Chains A and B, each alone.
Chain A
Amino acid sequence: MASQSLHHHFASLRLRTRQPRNPSPRPLTVAASKNPPLPGRKLRAAVIGGGPAGSSAAESLASGGVETFLFERSPSSAKPCGGAIPLCMLDEFDLPHSLVDRHVTEMRVISPSNITVDFGKTLRPHEFIAMLRREVLDSFLRSRAESRGAELITGLVTDLELPRSSSSPYVVHYTSGGSKRSLAVDVVVGADGANSRVAKSIGAGEYSYAIAFQERIRLPDEKMKYYENLAEMYLGDDVSPDFYAWVFPKCDHVAVGTGTVRSKREIKAYQRGIRERVRPKIEGGQVIKVEAHPIPEHPRPVRVRGRVALVGDAAGYVTKCSGEGIYFAAKSGRMCGEGIVKASEGGARMVGEEDLRREYLRQWDDRYVSTYRVLDLLEKVFYGSNWGREAMVELCGGEYVQRVSLESYMYKRLVEGDRWEGVKMAASTVATLVRCKIMSGEMGRLKAIA
């Protein structure tokens, strides 16, 4: 019977890929009768990793009546991260505005030939990009999960023991306070980041990743004023061959960094490149911290296996083009938690792999795959070469482009745009790409003559 429903599921997947946008008939699995009720106890869930993904998952699970254990190895560490979140996250996750360090209302994009374009003319007064410190956000979300009933365990998870049969529990082995402990649970949510141990335990497979490298620099006051509400994005082969370099303002310093997928060994050279490009603006500054972190480029081959689901960076939910991960981590954690609550009917029944796929993965993919695909396309076209980058900066000068991209970033939905403007935007995109490609051809000819 299990295989039958799986077959239905696979068949419905086939339909989906042939007819995009057609909601395929869901397999009629009656979850209530399939899952056995738990004998006199609630469903136990372990959430491994206490970042935005883990905390959101734990919060949803605990609020839904599931007995939740949230594991975090170092609650006070500051994660190396851009720290920018979209406006919708403040609303959806009820984040108090006191968490926000800076309201960025202007984004400057600079091309390889230093053509500068200002993003932000279309922002309305109440709109901004929130910059915050990860340690502040993470601890807020964790304590909220705790207040909803999740038990916070400070410890390092060393191993996840897979069950021998469908009714045995998963055993989480961890060290806490110097001693080795273990905990038996029914469901595991892996939210332990890019180097996920949970992913390794279930054999989720690898993904290619980018290296993000950043230096936090404290600037003298007059220079810091320039970055009061302004973030900068630099493009060029000197700062990154396939991504962008940034200057993001933080609470009292700026983060200057860059990232790359294919030339990880030259990351230091790229960092020097960005330091050079920004030199007059950071002269006299003091480097207070240097940090680096891997960023997944695409989802892992397996995101759900058995009664283990991966969320956030562990699943590989970082978007291309913008490299945004915080919102998607939190959202996937929440969706996964809510999915488990629904499938278990408030913690009363056991859940299975099918439930995780149906309630979490299917919902997630249906909602966000197109977003990811669009961003992947943008990255391929606009980040791959210098002429693509020049074209992008030129296009970003257009007001309609700015409005559409900012709104889709801030609200995570494709805004209903003016059709005529859309056509004009498409035409000018093609025109700009053609022009810049021609110029790049001429540049190549110059090199050839010489």
Chain B
Amino acid sequence: MSISMALFSPPAPNLRTLLSSPRSLPKPRLTLKPSPSLMPKGPAFFAVSASSDNGAGAVPSSAVAVEEQGEPKVAVEPAKEPERENGSVASAPEEGAVAVAKFNDSRWVGGTWNLKQFQKDGSTDWDAVIDAEVRRRKWLEDNPESSSNDDPVVFDTSIVPWWAWMKRFHLPEAELLNGRAAMIGFFMAYLVDSLTGVGLVDQMGNFFCKTLLFIAVVGVLVIRKNEDVETIKKLIEETTFYDKQWQATWQDDNSGSSKNG
């Protein structure tokens, strides 16, 4: 079955990664049809609903219907050019020109990833499973799909064993952080030694040095990027904000005490 792909702006980058990345899916059978994500799939549907609305609803829904008529036209044009599977566009909507692109992958079977298709050297290639799921979620984020009762999605990330996550994500970062800590530690130990003459072993016995060590370790763990400092400050403010809102009425105690009766 030939690979037919319609090129259109939003998921185009997606396609490039699929084609160029060495870890791309073996036989991408993505049949992509144009689909602006938040567009309704039926101007006709809205026409029906607009007529049956009561007065209150009529204005908003007719306004909505008017908007929609404009948009689908824009989307259809780019689709028409490289479209080889013209059957799909024509058949898709009885209603309008906009068709649905569904997530499609040969290894996505029955609402979850078929692990047998991820075999590499006799055991499951968990990295590929993670990649595939990431791609699926990315795809759906850009092209939300209607949920269907017929093929429910039942994938659960916990099927990927903990050591696969660890090996791929934790270890490289741990290496980085340990490296940073080691560099800082070596430099500080040298500096303190040259300034005070206290050797490394004796430094460790001192309470002040131990405190500095603790701060250094926590700092390396918590502040990994420059943005983290701001993030932490915001986080602290956020966690206490709601509480402040609840206590606000009690603060009034002092200021509003004159207003009684």
Complex contact A10–B253 (CB within 8 A): yes
Number of B residues near A (Cβ < 8 Å) is 67
From A115, A215, A377, give the contact of B153 (CB < 8 A): A115
Q: Is the CB of B154 within 8 A of A299?
A: no
For the complex, what is the distance from the CA of A377 to the CA of B242, rounded to whole Å? 9
Contact call B256/A305, Cβ cutoff below 8 A:
yes
> For the complex, what is the distance from the CA of A236 to the CA of B145, rounded to whole Å?
11
* A390 partner residues in chain B, CB cutoff 8 A: 137, 157
Specify the chain A residue showing the minimal Cβ separation from B251. Answer: A301
Instruction: Decide if B38 touches A114 in the complex (CB within 8 Å).
Output: no
Contact code string B224-261 (vs A, CB < 8 Å = 1, else 0) = 00000000000000110011011111101110110111
Given the contacts A113-B137, A113-B153, A443-B134, A287 and B169 also touching, CB distance less than 8 Å: no
In the docked arrangement, what's the CA distance between A439 and B250, Å?
A: 43
B140 CB, min distance to chain A CBs, angstroms: 5
* Residue B61 interfacial (CB < 8 Å): yes
| Given pairs A273-B38, A390-B157, 20 additional interface contacts (CB within 8 A) | A2-B260, A10-B250, A112-B137, A113-B141, A114-B145, A114-B147, A115-B156, A165-B261, A167-B261, A280-B149, A281-B146, A286-B49, A299-B245, A301-B249, A302-B252, A305-B259, A357-B253, A377-B239, A380-B238, A446-B138
**B87 interface residue, CB < 8 Å from A?**
no
Q: Decide yes or no whether B40 CB sits under 8 A from chain A.
A: yes
B249 touches A450 (CB 8 A): no
| Cα distance A325–B94 in the bound complex, in angstroms | 42
Interface presence of A28 (CB below 8 A):
no
A-B pairs with CB below 8 Å: how many?
Answer: 197
Please, which residues of chain B bring their CB within 8 A of the CB of A238?
A: 37-38, 144
Closest Cβ of chain B to A205, distance in Å, is: 8
Could you tell me the distance in whole angstroms from the C-beta of B259 to the nearest C-beta in chain A? 6
In the bound complex, how far is the Cα of B240 from the Cα of A213, in angstroms?
A: 29
Verify A276–B40 contact, CB threshold 8 A: yes
B145-161 residues with Cβ-Cβ distance < 8 A to A are 145-149, 152-158, 160
**Contact between chains at A303 and B131 (CB < 8 Å):** no
Smallest CB gap from B243: residue in A: A373
Known contacts: A281-B149, A439-B133. The answer to whether A273 contacts B14 by CB under 8 A is no
Complex Cα–Cα for A64 and B138 (A) = 60
Determine the distance from Cα of A65 to Cα of B39 in the docked complex, in whole angstroms: 58
Q: Does A133 contact B (CB under 8 A)?
A: no
Chain B CB within 8 A of A85 CB: no
How far apart sit A360 and B183, CA to CA, in the bound complex (Å)? 59
CA distance A299 to B251 in the complex (A): 13
CB distance from B240 to the nearest CB of A (A): 11
Chain A 272-306 near chain B by CB (<8 Å), digits 1 or 0: 11011111110100111111000000111111111
Asked if A376 lies at the interface with its beta carbon under 8 angstroms from chain B, I say yes
Instruction: Mark B32-45 against chain A: 1 for CB-CB distance below 8 A, else 0.
Output: 00000111110001
Q: Are B41 and A276 in contact, CB atoms less than 8 angstroms apart?
A: yes
Given contacts A291-B56, A438-B169, contact A432 B157 (CB under 8 A): yes
Interface string of A163-186 (1 = CB under 8 A from B): 101111000000000000000000
Residues in A with CB closer than 8 Å to B158 are 394, 428, 431-432, 435
B-chain residues with CB within 8 Å of residue A386 when the two chains form the complex: 137, 141
Q: A6 touches which one: B16, B130, B154, B257 (CB < 8 A)?
A: B257
B57 touches A (CB below 8 Å)? yes
23 contacts between A and B (CB under 8 A): A2-B260, A10-B254, A113-B141, A114-B145, A115-B155, A116-B147, A168-B261, A237-B141, A269-B38, A273-B38, A276-B40, A278-B147, A287-B52, A290-B53, A301-B248, A306-B259, A353-B260, A434-B165, A435-B157, A446-B14, A446-B134, A450-B12, A450-B17
**Residues 46-104 of B at the A interface (beta carbon under 8 Å):** 48-49, 52-54, 56-57, 60-61, 64
The count of chain A contact residues (Cβ–Cβ below 8 Å) is: 85
Contact assessment for A369 and B253 in the assembled complex, using a CB-CB cutoff below 8 Å = no
Q: Does B136 make an interface contact (CB < 8 A)? A: yes
The list of the 5 closest CB pairs from A to B, nearest first, reads A166-B261, A450-B13, A290-B57, A238-B144, A287-B49
The answer to whether B153 and A166 have CB atoms under 8 Å apart is no
What is the bound-complex CA distance between A268 and B256, given in angstroms?
42
Chain B residues lying within 8 Å of A394, measured Cβ to Cβ, are: 156-158
A313 to chain B, nearest CB (A): 15
**Do residues A280 and B254 form an inter-chain contact, with CB atoms below 8 A?**
no
Q: How many Å from the CB of B234 to the closest CB on chain A? A: 12
Q: Does B29 contact A (CB under 8 A)?
A: no
A439 contacts B157, C-beta separation under 8 Å: yes
B210 at the interface (CB under 8 A from A): no
Highest count of chain A CB atoms <10 Å: which of B140, B156, B261? B261
**Please, how many angstroms separate the alpha-carbon atoms of A449 and B48 in the complex?**
44
Given A2-B257, A115-B155, A442-B131: A304 touches B38 (CB 8 Å cut-off): no
Interface residues of A in 343-363 (CB under 8 A from B): 352-353, 357, 361
Partner of A298, one of B145, B154, B239, B246: B246
B116 within 8 A of A: no
Q: Across the interface, name the chain A residue whose C-beta is closest to B138.
A: A443
Give bound CA distance, A288 to B12, whole Å.
Answer: 40
Docked-complex contact A277 and B144, CB < 8 angstroms: yes
Q: Which A94-118 residues sit within 8 Å CB-CB of chain B?
A: 110, 112-116
- Nearest chain A CB to B94 CB, angstrom units: 11
Kindly state whether residue A252 has any CB partner on chain B within 8 Å.
no
- Flag A411-450 by CB within 8 Å of B: 1 or 0 each: 0000000000000000010011011101100110011011
Known: A277-B147, A450-B14. A299 touches B249 (CB 8 A): yes
Contact A450 B16 (CB under 8 A): yes
A384 to chain B, nearest CB (A): 10
Contact between B40 and A275, CB atoms less than 8 A apart: yes
Please state if A279 and B141 are interface contacts (CB–CB under 8 Å): no
Which residues of B have CB within 8 Å of A283?
45
* A19 at the B interface (CB under 8 A): no
Q: Does A136 have its Cβ within 8 Å of any Cβ on chain B? A: no
Q: Which residues of B contact A234 (CB under 8 A)?
A: 147
